[in-house]
Amino acid sequence: MTQAIVFVSTCPSCKREQPQDAFTIADLVRLLNGGYPIEAYCVPCDRFWSISVQERVEVGEAVAVVYKGTLRSAEADSLRQRPSESGSKKHRPNRRAALRQ
């Protein structure tokens, strides 16, 4: 979640797309979930602005993809570290059968 994510936002003054690289995934998740504005910055104009609704949707989609990929990667790592349970299920006693006895 400390991974940086880069997106572009169009500066309202100069109309150029400006890369925004000051946010981590955790920052963007907090801002999106909390309904807080996401502030972009234009270096040549030295100006801040809140990104548009459309840009906010696009950022949210990008964060979701990266976040989902991060979770999948973590799950895969977790599964690699665990011993296989597929064989052990065959040898587990049936809990209901054990309770009936």
* pLDDT (tens digit per residue) in 2-48: 788 899 999 999 999 999 999 999 999 999 999 999 999 999 999 99
Tell me the three state secondary structure of residue 49.
strand
User: Would you state the structure tokens that stand for residue 63, as one six-digit string?
Assistant: 């964060």
Q: The tokens 């570290």 sit on which residue?
A: 81
Any domain includes 97: no
- Residue 56 within a domain: yes
Domain residues for the domain of 56 are: 4-82
- pLDDT > 60? residue 85: no
Domain assignment of residue 88, yes or no: no
What does DSSP say about strands 39-42 and 17-24: parallel, antiparallel, or unpaired? Answer: unpaired
Structural domain includes residue 87: no
Q: How many structural domains compose the chain?
A: 1
Q: Is residue 92 part of a domain?
A: no
Query: Using an 8 Å Cβ cutoff, are 68 and 77 in contact?
Result: no
Task: Let me know if residue 54 belongs to a domain.
Answer: yes
Report residue 7 as tokens: 């997106």
Burial of residue 50 (CB within 10 Å: 0-12, 13-18, 19+) is: middle
